[in-house]
Amino acid sequence: MIGTIYQAGKPPSTWYWYVLGVMVVLCGVGCFLYWRGYRIPAKFMNPILKRLPQKISAHLVRFKHLEQEPEMVEAAAPA
């Protein structure tokens, strides 16, 4: 049964191979540049790293508020 399923499968389309090839080439170029000592300068990374904690904390605060909202409603309801 399993052999029949595998034999009936379609081979990957050409787009799959193009996308895979582009990704492999980009990773190869990135690894080569890293190996050669080329790095992203800190002046480009600092604004991103400074902004990232604010973005994460905003989502966490909103999630915590939504999580606590049902508890507040229960506490506010008369017994």
Tell me, what's the pLDDT at 31?
Answer: 94
The model's pLDDT over 11-40, given as tens digits with 9 standing for 90+, comes to 777 888 999 999 999 999 999 999 999 887
Token pair 């034999």: residue: 7
Tell me, what's the pLDDT at 4?
Answer: 74
Q: How far apart are CA 7 and CA 16, in angstroms?
A: 19
Find the distance separating the first CA and the last CA of the chain, reported in whole Å: 61
Q: Look at 2-16, 44-58, 61-75 and tell me which has the smallest mean pLDDT.
A: 61-75
Does residue 18 or residue 52 have the better pLDDT?
Answer: 18
Question: Residue 64: how many CA atoms within 13 Å on its side-chain side?
Answer: 6
Q: Residues of the chain with pLDDT > 70: what percent? A: 84
What's this model's pTM, rounded to 2 decimal places?
0.45
